[in-house]
Structures are given as C-alpha cells and as structure tokens.
Amino acid sequence: CRKLDQPITREYTDAAYWRTNDDALAALSSCYENMSNDGYFFGDEALSDNAYVSGDGFNAVSKIANGAYDPSNGRVTAEWGYRYTCIRKCNVVVLNIDKVPGMDSTLKHRILAEARFIRAYSYFQLVNWYGNVPFYTDLITIDAAKTIGRTDKAQILDFIQSELTDIRSSLPVNNYTGTAGGYAEKDKGRITRGAAIALSARVHLFKSEWQGAVDDCEKLIGNTTNGTYGLMGNYSDIFTTANEYNNEVILDLQYGGGRTFSSQRSFLPQTVALLRSVLVPTQDLVDDYVMLNGKGIAESGSGYDENDPYKNRDPRFEATILHDKSTITDFDGKVQTILTQPGSNPSTNSIDDQGASPTGYYFYKYYDRTASNYNSSLNLIMIRYADVLLMYAEAKNELGQLDAAIWNQTIRALRVRAKFTDAGATEFPGGTKEVLQTIVRRERRAELAFEGIRPFDIRRWKIADVVLNKPVRGIKVTSGAFTKDPNGYIIVENRIFSNPKHYLWPVPTFEHDQNANLGQNDLW
Amino acid sequence: QVAFASNMEHPSAGQQVKDTEKPLENRISLQVNNELLAHVLERIEQQTPFVFVYSNDEIKAAQKVSLNVKDKKLAEVLEMILSPLDIRFEMINNKIILRQGGETATYTGVEDVTVNGRVVNNKGEGIPNINVRLQGSSIGTITNDQGFFTLKIPAGQSNGTLVCSSVGYIPSEVGIAGRTNITIMLTADSKDLGEVVVTAYGSQQKKQVTAAINTISSKDLQGRPVTNMFQALQGQAPNLILQQNTAEPGATLTMNIRGVGSLTGNTPLIIIDGVQAGTTGLQNLNPYDVESISVLKDAASSAIYGSQAANGVVYITTKRGTKDGKPGVQYNAMYGWQTPTTLPRNVEAWEYMTLKDEALVNSGKTPQYSPEDIAYWQKRGSEPAMLHEMLRKTTPQQSHNLSLTGGGKNSSYLISLGYLDQGNMLQNKYVNQDFYYKRYNARTNLSVDVSKYVKVNANIAYTKSYYRTQQPDIGFLMRDAMRTPRIYPVKDSLGNYVVPALSSGNVIAALDLGGYNMREEDNLLGGIDVTINPVKHLSFNFNASGNYKINDNISRVNKYSYAPYYTTANPPIYNQLSESSYKDRNTNVYATAEYENTFGEHYVKAQVGARSDATNEFYGLRASRYGTTNLDDQYAIGGGYIPKPDGSYDYSSIGTYNDITNPNLYALNSLFGRVNYVYNDKYMAEFTWRYDGSSKLAPGHRWQFFPAFSLGWRVTDEKFMEDLKRYGNVKLRYSWGQVGNSNIGGYNYLARVTLNPNKYAFNNSPSQGADFSAYNETLQWEISTMSNYGVDVDLLNNKISASFDYFNKNTTGIYLFQVVPGTAGTGSSLQNVGKVQNKGWELSVSYRAKTGGFNHTLTANLSDNLNKVIRYGEQSIQGSDFTYIIKEGFPIASYYGYKSNGLYQNLDDIKNAPAVPFAYNQQVMPGDVRYIDRNKDGKIDANDRYVFGNPFPRYTFGFTYAVNWKNFDFSMFWQGVGKRSQFLRGDIVEAFHNNEDHAFVQHLDRWTPTNPEATYPRLTIGTADANNFAYSDYWLFDTKYLRLKNLQFGYTLPHDILSAIKVQSVRVYFTSQNLLTITPKRFRQLGVDPEFTQYDDKLSNANYNPIAGRNYPNASTFSFGLDLKF
C-alpha cells in the first residue's frame, strides 16, 4: 500500500526556491525571454508601410494592416497576454528577491533594475498599441485581474519614465571587463545603463517631450560615463553573428547557445531558404531611399531613372533589400541572382510564382548565412546607437535647433558610414523645420528599416492614416496580366487605416469577455 | 414405450414434466469401496424399482468400483459409476440396459442408437427445458430438471448433429460423431433476464440487479472485422458513446458512458478480469478472447470502484475453459480489404483554374490562368487527385486466432493466440516502405480448485504491437495532398516526383523516401485471484494485478531531394535516427471478505474490502543521431552530432544521450463495502460505500466518502399481479449514488518551479530560466451524484425483453483549467468549479421470433443525453480555430459566434446592412455571408455573438437484425446518431484557405450573380476572406448519420461433410464494416467521415485534423472469414 504523500521529483516547489543567487538569476532570465521575440520583431514591420505579409503568416498581421480586424483578432489578443505574462515575471523577481539569503546588495539592485527595465519596456509596448491599459506592480490575483480597470496612458508613461531614471545607477555599463560599474564578459546581452537611457529617450520622443529626449541622448552622445557607443564601420556588418555585441548595440534580443529563430525562412527568397516568401518589402519603402546625391527620387535633379530604378541609390538600400537582379550567396555558398520580373527564367523568384514575393522584393538585412538548418542565432537589435543619433536629430529639429553641428554629429555620420560621398548627401542642407523634418524622418526610415521601429514611428507621427490608407504596391511591370496602378506598379492588396480609430488597437474580446471593467477604445 | 421417448412427440419447449415421468430422479445413497460392479448394481436394484439388464460378455461385471454418495439422483450415480468404465445405460420400462460404449457401433446396423447426454451451463450445472433436436429431422426431446436427455436416433444418423436451443441461451450444434454419451455446454445469451451479470467485485443474478448495467456478449461481437475492441463496442449499448479523433491503424477511439460530465477525462474505468487495464489494455485485447462485457453505468453499480469509476465501468470477462471439458481447439481467420469510407474530392483541373481566377478577381487580384490555359486543361482532362493516389483503394487486413480450451477435474484452462495485420492505406503503389499495425496476442487463463476451500484464477495476457508508420504527420500529408490541384501528376515522365507550386513537397515522395516511425509496444497484463471459503457462507478474496507497458520508438528520418525539380520544399537535410523508450507500470492489490446466506425468504450478502493502486510513469532512454551521411540502424556509419537535453547539439562526441528522468508516482488507497438484501426474490436492496484517498489532491482534501444505494421490486411477483404474471415480468429499479474523480495529473496542489536550462542566452551561452506554475492548494475531489430510474420488462416467456432507464447526474467541483484573463499574466491552474448536469435516458429492446425455419433476433437501443452547465460563475470563452463557451444554461463547450442569415445578394442588401468592421477593406460584397446584428447597433461585433450549437451526439442508437435459416445466417447492425452538429474549418471548408491552391466539388456551388441560391459564398483568397470565415454558424454542419456498421452473411457446413473430415464445425462468412453511410447532403459532399470528432475525452480540442478534414480516413472493410472448431 503506497503512501499518499508522493515525493515530487521532477520539479522544484516554490517553497524550496529563492535560496541562491542563481535562483534569482534564473527567474530573471525568464523575464528576458518574454521581452520580445523574432515573430514580433520582424512581423510587426508589416504593420507599417515598409512591409507586407501575404496569407496568415506572423499571426495574420495583414488583417490588421488592411483594417480587416476586430477585437477578436488573434494578434491583438496575443500581444496583450504576452506583455502581461512578462510583467508578472518581472513582478515575481521584484517581490521575491529579498527572500534570497545573503545576496550581495550590488547584485540585488542590478537584478531588480534589469527586471524593472523589462517591466517598463512591456508597459511601453502595451500603451503604444492599446493606449490605456491595466496597470499594476504586484502579483495580481486572477480575481483581481477580472475587475481591474484601465489606467491612463499618460500615468503609465510617467511610471515608465521614472523607473528608467530610477534604475540607471544600479545598471552596469557595457565595458564587459567585470570592473566596477561594468558587466563581465559572460553578462553580454544584459540590460545596461545605456539601454535604460536610450529607452528613456525613446519614451520622451513618443511623448513629444523633445528636451527630455535631447537630455537623454546627450548622456550617450559624446559621453562615455554611461557606456561607450559608436557606429560600426560598415552598415551591413552590424547585422552579422561575427559582430554581435559591437559598440553600436545598446539593447538586443539574445539568441545563441542553442536558442534560435527561424523567421528568416519567411523573408528570404524561396530559392535560398526553401520556404514561401511571405514577409516582403513594399515599393513604398524602396521609393523612400534617397539617391546618392541625397535627393529623394521625386525631387528634381535627383537623377532617378524609373527604368533603372536601383542605380545610384542610398547604399543602405542594397544592404536591406533584394530586388530584380540582386545577387545573394545562399546557405550552400552558391551565388544566386534573384530575378523578380514576370517572365524571368527561372521564374522561381519572380512575381509569377505563387511562392515568390508578391511585391518583387525581398528583405536581405538580418540574413544569417551561418544559420544551421536555417535557424539563426543572430541577436536582434532593439536599440542601437544610430537610433539614438536619429532621435537626437529629430528632437533637436522639433526644438528648432537642428544646425550643421548637430547634423554632422548625427545624419552626416550615418550617411558617411553608409558610404555616401556626394556633398549633396553629407552636408547640412539647411531649410525650414518642416523640410528638415522630412529629411530626418526619411533618414530614420532608411537607416532602421526592418528593425521594428517604423510601425511605432508612423503612429506617433500620426501619418499612419496616410501611409497605410492606400494599396500595397510591388514592382513596376511591363508584361503580364497584373492588377496595376496607373503608373504600372503591381497592386498587391488594398489597405485601410481609419483615423483615429486604428491608431489604437481595441481591448481584445478575450479580455473584455472576462473583465467588463476594461471598457473599450473609442470607435471600437 | 421408453419413458423419455414419450417426449419425442411433444418436443415443445416449456412443457412441464411430472415427477412420475422422471424415474432417474430416484434418490439413492451408496457407500462402496472397491467392490465388484455386479454387487454395486445389485445394491442399486435394492433401492429402486429398476433391474439392470446386461450381457456378461459385454459388460465385465467383475470390474471394481468405489463410490460414496448420499441422497443422489440415480442418473447421476449411474453416470459416476458407469462413465469411467465406458458403459452406456438406457432405460426401458423398469429395466436399465447396459452396453459397453465403445462397441455401440456394432448395434447400429440393426436398431436405433440411444444417445444419452446432458446439457450444462458454463459452470457445469445442468440446464432444464432445453430443446435437443437431431438436425434435419423431427426427432427431438427436452432436457429434464438436471439437464439430462436421452434421444433415440436412427442408426445411420450416428454421425449427425444435435441442435440444442432454448430461449435465453445461444443455440449450439454438436456433432454426435458416433458417441452415445454427450455433454453439451450452452452459453447463456446475455440479453436474457435469467443470466448472471458481472458486477463490481462479483456477480449477480440479472433478476436481482437493481443498478443500470448493460451486458454485451461475445456473440454480439462475433465476425466483426474490427481491429480493436473500441470499434467492436460501438453502438452495442445505449449511451456507450464512441467517437474518433483519427482512424490511423491502431488508433483508439474516445469513449464515454452517459455523456460528458468532466473536463479531465470521461473515459470509463476499463477492467479485464478484475485487472485495471486502461485504454491500452482495451486496445490490446484480442476481441476473440472476450466472453462478455458489462457496462456499469450508474453510481450504484460503479461506486464501489470509487474514484476510478466516476465515468462508469466497462468490465470485460474473457473466455475460460470448462472443468472436465474435452480439449477443444478453435481457429478463426478473417481476410479482407479496407477502403476509405469517403474522401474529399478535388475539382477537375479546369474547374480549379476557373475557381482560382474567380477568387483572385473577387479579391482584387490578378487572375493566374488565361482562358487558353483553362481551355487546354478542359480538353486534356485532369491528373488523378493527389489525395486519391496517396490513399490505396484496397488495403489488406487479416486476423487469425487459435485457442485451446479444456480442463481436468479441478482445473480448467484457456490458451489463445491471436494475430492481426492491418495494412496502412498510405502504403500506396509508389511507396517502397512497409507501413502497418500488427498485433500479436497471447493469453492464458487458468482456474484451479486447489482444495475444497481454495480456488485460484490466474490470467495473463501479453501483447506485442508494432505500429510502423510514415515519417510525416498524417495531418500534413492529408493537407498537402488535399491542397494539390489536379494539374500535377505524382511523377513526371522520367519518374521524378513532381512538386506542386505552393506545396512544401510531394506527399507521396515524403512517404516513399522520408523514412518511418516504428513504435513497438509490449504490454503485459495479468492478475492472480484467490478465493478462500473457510466455512460455509464466508469467503475471502485476494487479488493482485498489474499492467506493465514498454514503448520503444524508433524514428528514422531520411534525407532526400526533389532534384531535378527546384522547389521550396524542405525535405530533411540530415539523416536522423532517434530512439526512445517509455515505461508505465500500474499495480493494484485488493482484498475482500464476503458473507452470503439465506434465512428463509431473506437473502443477505455483505462484503468489505481494501485496495491500493499505484502508478509509476517514467522515461527510460532517449537517444538520437544526426548525420549528413548515411546512418544505419546500429549507428555504425556516419558522423554527426547529438542533441543535448537543452535542445542544443553536441558536435564533439559520437554516441548516444541517455535521459533518465524521475518517475511520477501516484497512489490511491481505498476501503469499500457492500450489503445486499433480497426478500423473497421480490424486494431487493443494495448499499455500497467507498472511502478513497488520492495522492493527487491537496493534503487535507485527499480522503472522501462515497455512498450509494439501489432498490428493486419485481412487481409481477406480487400476489395481486398474478394475472399479469403469465404475460411476463416487470421489475422496477431505483438507484442513487456518489462517485468521485481524481483523474488528473499529480502535484497540481503544489506551487512548482519549472527550470529550463536553455531559456535565454547571455554572451551566446545558455542561461537557465525559471517559470512559476499556477497552482491550487485546496484541490479536492470532483464529485458526481447520480440518480437512476429503471424498469426491466420481459414478455411472452422472454421473447421480448426491454429496459428503460432515466438518469440525472450532477457533477460538482468540476476540474477545470480556468480561463485566465491575459491581464493576470499567469497560466491557469486546475480548479474545482461549478456544477454540470447530465440528463438522459436509454432504451433497449430485444425480440426473438421463429417463422417457419427462420429464427429472427431483433435488438435495438436508443439513448439520449445532454449536459448543461448549472453553475459556473462567469462564462468562459476560449478556442482559436473556433470559439466555444462555457456558460450557465448551455452544454459545456458550446459553439459560440455569429449567427448567419444567408448571403448578401446585391448592393441594396449591403446598403441596408450593418457595418462589418472586420471585413476586408471594411466592406462586404454581394455573395458574402450576412451576420445578424443581434443588438441592432448597426455593426457586427463581439456583442452580436450567439451560442449556436454543441458537438455532443444525441439520440445515439444501434439496431441489429439477425436471422438464420438452415445452415445460413445473416445479420446486419446499424448504428448512428440522430442529432449532432460539428463546426468545420480550414481546408475542407474554405476554398484557397490561407492562399493555398485547393478547391473541392462543394465549392462549385459558390455564389455568383447567376447562382444566388449557392451553398458557398463568393470565392475569395487571402485576407479578402475575413468576413466569410469569421466564427459563425455558417460553418456548422449537421453531422447526424445512419451507418450500416456491420453486415454478415454466413454458412455453416452440414455435419455429414464435417464428420468425414473429423471437424466439429465449420462456418464461412462474408462480413463488412461501414458498408453504407447516410448523412445530410451538405456534409456528405465534404468527404469527411461523420464519426470523427475534434474533441478528446477531456473535451479539449485535441486535434485540429478532424475540423479541417485532415484525418486518415475511416475504413470500409470487406472480409471473408472462417471459423473452425475441432
């Protein structure tokens, strides 16, 4: 007769946890893991005018992009739960760390700061998508979660801001030498003081608090007390496994050590990654890359030739996008020429093919040729120094302070790094705030394309109802029976973005069904 | 005239034989020790009016015999003395004539042969009033009170056949084969009220049964080309409901009794000869070994099994030998072919092109095919559908069974061997792989009377099963095959596999080249049962049993390529060989003490027992090898790397990885008891209780007491009912009881921390992560309370018998992983919540009739059950492929979504329509599905949802008609569901689902301006389908069905042929399973089998395949069978 008290042998119980530093660090690693993932990182690009997803890929983001969604949408539902799961994990760390006996105070405050950063980041994502959301910092009970109301977005943003300020002093910098105030080599990938400052700058920017953004950026630009940052020599080198942890990186999602992602199979040409290409760049993004002379393609004197459209373009274009006749070295080391025009031979990557890109373009940035079985262990960069420079330029311009000095420190530096040489591109153009705003925004789009930034930029700039309220276009074709716009560009799909309704996602039906106190966003 | 021979003129059943006509009933006492036979016979003559007549030449009267009998019947005494000496006796007037048995034949030429015999039941007790007839003649008699009979048959017929039959017993035919003394065993037909019913920890006379119990006899299962017992049980008992998630060879079915009351599993407790066998045990059971099945349905009958029996009990008794039985050998064989019952039908090539273009244009996109393309394919004709090429039309299946039964004076045995080989439909003509399900069964059942006081039963069954299947998952294969339009052949003219444009490969290539999975399962199931009767009325029973299972899995992934085709397909790029082994052990021990006595009109039985069950589950070994070069099965060749437990790879070493994880250990300890009381065979009462402790529940909530009682009243035995008694019997039953359920995973009451060594990475090194599970520290029993009202009727001497039951089952504290708002940020924990009611009724009727030479049997059962959530608190809505709701007043897991109201026909319709914010471009079009704006706020949103149905089968029925005539027999068994609906989605419903390339025949009837009455909305592709494929009742299908589950036609060879070849009986037959199915047209068109369900027994959405029509098809089977008895 066996006893009823059977030992649990496969898992720990909570009662036996929080005994060592490693226990706390393991709980913290779970927070990191829930900060973001490759699906959101890449898929969200299709929530902007940079990219398009065909079919139901990336949790059917296309349904959101073309306005065919309601509060029961799977993507809208998933994001809510995903963020609160992370917030709870962070709260677990924050509320339990004191249980660990004899923990070094520096380590304790570092762990607390890391968890608080991740919690702040999660709330930041929540308010950006949903506006007002439930807000708490305790281990909310399930019953309480069924009655909690929503807190004003501004109040949550204030919390985020104060957290990001508060934790700075507890966070080591990015020197990775293990000396005082710096992380050890083994801690590469953790939240740094620089990350807290950069995220704070981003929050200010999203709140149009230009001076706050400037102040934060200046803590990182030309100032090494909060970490040593700079630009990589070569733009495309930033996104390679060989250059992980380069000094342009401020915050990145960690892959490696057996942790991998497979998203690149969805955006590379099907002849390279052997899967249908569903996440693809739009003609709109392609058109926004300037010419080598710094002019937009539509500007007079740009030298743009619609029949040879990829000539003399921003070098970052080639580093980001594959177009007709681009070459790519595939996983087997073979150089492939990508042909996307209809009637190409072979037609495998051309828009005639059902599995090929429907726009005639492919993403190339973040192609990891070292991936084993297509599964990449490349870190995904959430904040990099170039972003800080661009935020700085933007904030300064909004303050009416974008002058040649600031220009040279920011946009010129980025363009020189991108290998622009024409003075038309590198020298301060001058002009009104509005003219410069266009240039700064376009620069931001080109520099940070396919890095998950654009979907939020078009929403905070309130241009989403313009750029997302028109068809997704692909390449210009001269043959074949395609649905085309008057200029001969393929129309892939129409998009609708209702202003102001679509600037916020609705409270998901799943949540609303369980908590009537949540209310609903306007017009939903 | 001979006394018994007088019965020959009146062979009718039921005739009362008066005492004076039963001279062999004379009782004598005799004590002789080693005396001469002649003296013994003399002493008998002194006690009876008979004289013995015999020839001294023939009968050696000097033989010595010993005997000690007291007050025994003459016939029995004569048997005892004469049988061992091979002396036959026959009575003429007051003379008993003795003859030496072996030389009977010398008399056959000159006069009739007298055959003496006895008809006994399976306990060796004589059965009175059995009709014994010489086949093909009018010669017959009936047995006396002790089951004896004597029959004179013409000399030439001494190799003929005796047919024994009576209402309540399965007719038996026995070859005389020259014998003059024959013992014939008849098996009670379990439909009869007179039978003995196996109940929990014992058995009971059916007439005394007060609980809701159905029995199924081996006869009901005979000749069915089923591959496991699940299939055999379908439709056999009312409210025993079986449905399928998948029909892959070797797959089990989901089973419930009286519906679904729990969300943690509704599978009944399965017991085989007292051994707790589980679904594995049932799956591995050789159907030929089954003697009878009791289905214990109400709490009163199952409560004594306590917590394991909250969902009822299926108690299976296997066949045994008979004591003093002559060794009998039986061989059964069946060979047949399986073919899919139904399959989705892809449209013709040109139709596909037309539909695809139409869908693209409707979605604002560019058409893909030119009119010239379409015209070309219309002229050329289509390629065969990939799906129909992938699934073989005739797939063989065979089974063989050999059994040996017999016994000595104190023991009996059964030894049986079984073999089943079910081919796999995926092993089509292109495939150079063996896919199959094979099962080898061996069973030994022994019964030994060790002494007058001690009886031992031992059963042991060993099963070895092989499941050899394809490497890719069936769902992917079906999906990709279904998605292939009929413009692609399987292979091109050079013999290369062709890859369809959007496909991730060629499904048939994946079958042919992709490798295999092999699962070997060893299952040892057995038990020893010892009964000790130290004194009269008192008995002790000790039982120890176990169920031990080992699964060995081999997965072989082969590298292959589609060269010269260029493809997006992703065939495996490494060879891979993985092995794993899993062990599972259950042991049960119990002991009971029982007192049974009769005091005048009072019958009393009392029982107490104790029981302990233990479960260990653990993985043994997992190992895997990868390599870019070839690997052989012994890992001998090839480099490669080894996966580590954290999911990363060890590139440095070559070897295997061992992963011994700790076991999960569970325990369940119980005390139980039962009291039965019967007065005058008229009033019956039973009380049972059980006190259960489960290790899976929170401390302080582990022990629970479960009482039950039942009452019975045989109304027609009352004096005032005497007038009605001659028409039949009526018994009323009532029962009430509680049972508990702790059928959940362990440790749910503990806050657990799950460590994942590879949760995150810093500096490209794995970092361990910890996750905290939700838990419930007050986790307690889920308790069902069931009342049952029943009536049993038998009419016209059992010609008609019927039972009706009504039940009401309330389950409280239902285990539910509560749906947690995302806001909480935590997983859900197992809770005891709410209350669910299951109400239903059951009717079963059987009727026997004889018209001319035809013997007809009709049996039918019909039942209904519906659950309803009585108390739940807040409603819970869940699901991803469709939504369902748990809400007070509705069945658990009801479908939830929009209600449709036809299709929009024109722009005027749309102008007046509510806004549909989730539609593509927020604009519906003519031909789109129209939803009802429930709250009339001018837009369709979450507030407009309805509960619009549920997946539970209602009005389930089974109907059997059997008839035999001369040597022919025929039977058909219909089974079905009277009301049921199912929500279907994905490929099977949506043309061009997810931008794919498929369209089926039902899509031809799509809406166009010229086809306004269409059954399918306008064709769309991509996100343009957002409106039409919202969760709505438009995609709810009526899936009731009527199915000819089994049809049999048999012929038994006449005995004059058999005697020549020394065979006792031979039956050849044709049998067919799932021959014919009738379903509503809209569902039938889809080509999906109606028996499929997406739910597992926990009502969780276990399997997406059934929803999307991606199941391995159910099979129609056509078989020929042979039954031989030696």
Q: Domain of residue B761: give its range.
A: 336-346+385-898+953-990+1029-1119
Instruction: For residue range B960-979, list pLDDT tens digits in order.
Output: 999 988 889 999 999 999 99
- Encoded tokens for B63: 């033989």
Identify whether B59 is part of a domain: yes
Residue B850 has pLDDT above 70, yes or no: yes
Average pLDDT over every residue of B554-565: 80
Higher pLDDT, A180 or B870: B870
Helix (H) or strand (E) holding B596, with range, is strand B575-599
Instruction: For residue range B366-419, list pLDDT tens digits in order.
Output: 888 999 999 999 999 999 999 999 999 999 999 999 999 988 888 999 999 999
- Option in A6, A26, A355 nearest B501 (CB): A355
- Encoded tokens for B291: 């003697």
- Encoded tokens for A506: 């609705």
Judging contacts by C-beta atoms under 8 Å, the chain B residues touching residue A259 are 758, 760-761, 766
Please name the residues in contact with B324: beta carbons below 8 A apart, sequence gap of 6 or more.
B124, B183, B407, B408, B409
Q: Residues B609, B630: contact at Cβ < 8 Å? A: no
Q: What is the pLDDT of residue B661?
A: 56
Q: Does B651 touch chain A (CB under 8 A)?
A: no
Judging contacts by C-beta atoms under 8 Å, the chain B residues touching residue A258 are 644, 646-649, 758, 761, 766
- Encoded tokens for B634: 């012994």
Work out the minimum CA distance from A390 to partner chain B, whole angstroms: 28
Identify whether B1002 is part of a domain: no
Is B769 close to A30, i.e. CB distance below 8 A?
A: yes
d(CA B721, CA B983): 53
Is A145 close to B880, i.e. CB distance below 8 A?
A: no
Is A26 close to B770, i.e. CB distance below 8 A?
A: yes
Which residues of B, range 1030-1069, sit inside 8 Å of A by Cβ? 1031
Count of domains observed in chain B: 2
Q: Mean pLDDT in chain B?
A: 82
- Option in B504, B747, B769 nearest A29 (CB): B769
CATH number, position B90:
2.60.40.1120
Task: Identify the domain boundary among B187, B210, B231.
Answer: B187
Q: Residues B1092, B1106: contact at Cβ < 8 Å? A: yes
Task: Identify the domain boundary among B172, B187, B202.
Answer: B187
Judging contacts by C-beta atoms under 8 Å, the chain B residues touching residue A252 are none
- Option in A25, A67, A258 nearest B647 (CB): A258
Identify whether B317 is part of a domain: no
- The residue of chain A with its CA nearest to that of B614 is A2
Is B367 close to A245, i.e. CB distance below 8 A?
A: no
d(CA B848, CA B122): 23
Mutate to test the interface with B, among A30, A253, A379 (most CBs of B within 10 A): A30
d(CA B235, CA B801): 18
Q: What is the DSSP string of B813-848?
A: EEEEE----GGG-S---EEEEEEEEEEEEEEEEEEE
d(CA B240, CA B237): 6
Average pLDDT over every residue of B469-490: 92
Judging contacts by C-beta atoms under 8 Å, the chain B residues touching residue A33 are 759-760, 769
Work out the minimum CA distance from A376 to partner chain B, whole angstroms: 12
Average pLDDT over every residue of B908-924: 88
d(CA B846, CA B794): 9
d(CA B111, CA B100): 16
Identify whether B215 is part of a domain: no
Work out the minimum CA distance from A347 to partner chain B, whole angstroms: 11
CATH class of A19-226+506-518: mainly alpha
d(CA B1097, CA A49): 47
Mutate to test the interface with B, among A6, A69, A80 (most CBs of B within 10 A): A6
Q: Does B450 touch chain A (CB under 8 A)?
A: no
Q: Does B630 touch chain A (CB under 8 A)?
A: no
Judging contacts by C-beta atoms under 8 Å, the chain A residues touching residue B754 are 11
ipTM of predicted assembly, 2 dp: 0.93
* A51-83 CB burial, b ≥16 within 10 A, e <16: bbbbbbbbbbbbbbbbbbbbbbbbbbbbbbbbb
- DSSP code of residue B867: E
Q: Does B766 touch chain A (CB under 8 A)?
A: yes
CB half-sphere exposure, B12, CA atoms < 13 A: 4
Work out the minimum CA distance from B488 to partner chain A, whole angstroms: 15
- Among the listed residues A131, A137, A46, the one whose alpha carbon sits nearest the alpha carbon of residue A518: A131
Residue B730 has pLDDT above 70, yes or no: yes
Residue B769 neighbours by CB distance under 10 Å: 23
Residue B494 falls in which region: left (phi positive, over 0), alpha (psi -120 to 50) or beta: alpha
Is B761 close to A8, i.e. CB distance below 8 A?
A: no
Identify whether B592 is part of a domain: yes
- Encoded tokens for B901: 């109201």
Mutate to test the interface with B, among A8, A29, A190 (most CBs of B within 10 A): A29
Work out the minimum CA distance from B764 to partner chain A, whole angstroms: 4
**How many Cβ contacts (< 8 angstroms) between chains A and B?**
278
Q: What is the DSSP string of B1011-1063?
A: BTT-SB-----GGGGTTTTSSBGGGEEE--EEEEEEEEEEEEPPHHHHHHHT-
Q: Which region among A12-26, B220-234, B479-493, B1005-1019 has the lowest average model confidence (pLDDT)?
A: B220-234
The band of B820, judged by pLDDT with boundaries at 50, 70 and 90, is confident
Q: What is the pLDDT of residue B522?
A: 94
Work out the minimum CA distance from B327 to partner chain A, whole angstroms: 41
Mutate to test the interface with A, among B671, B696, B763 (most CBs of A within 10 A): B763
SS3 A397: helix
- Option in B570, B669, B762 nearest A275 (CB): B570
Q: What is the pLDDT of residue A253?
A: 96
- DSSP code of residue A375: B
SS3 A457: helix
Mutate to test the interface with B, among A5, A12, A334 (most CBs of B within 10 A): A12
Task: Identify the domain boundary among B133, B159, B187.
Answer: B187
Angle at B1021 between CA B1016 and CA B1026, to 5 degrees: 75
- Option in B669, B823, B918 nearest A134 (CB): B823
Q: Are strands B894-897 and B884-886 parallel, antiparallel or unpaired?
A: antiparallel
Instruction: For residue range A1-23, list pLDDT tens digits in order.
Output: 677 777 776 667 777 789 999 99
- Among the listed residues B754, B1098, B1044, the one whose alpha carbon sits nearest the alpha carbon of residue B892: B1098
Residue B3 has pLDDT above 50, yes or no: no
Kindly calculate the radius of gyration of chain A based on its CA atoms and give it in whole angstroms.
24
Judging contacts by C-beta atoms under 8 Å, the chain B residues touching residue A188 are 762-764
Helix (H) or strand (E) holding B460, with range, is strand B454-470
Identify whether B524 is part of a domain: yes
Q: Does B645 touch chain A (CB under 8 A)?
A: no
> Structural domain boundaries of chain A?
19-226+506-518, 260-372+470-492
Instruction: For residue range B1057-1108, list pLDDT tens digits in order.
Output: 877 777 888 899 999 989 999 999 999 999 999 988 777 666 665 567 777 8
Residue ranges for chain A with pLDDT beneath 50:
none
- The residue of chain A with its CA nearest to that of B992 is A55
- The residue of chain B with its CA nearest to that of A484 is B366
End-to-end CA distance of chain B: 36
The band of B281, judged by pLDDT with boundaries at 50, 70 and 90, is confident
Q: Are strands B51-53 and B95-100 parallel, antiparallel or unpaired?
A: parallel
Is A348 close to B566, i.e. CB distance below 8 A?
A: yes
The band of B452, judged by pLDDT with boundaries at 50, 70 and 90, is confident
% residues pLDDT > 90 (chain B): 33
Q: What is the pLDDT of residue B640?
A: 40
The band of B625, judged by pLDDT with boundaries at 50, 70 and 90, is low
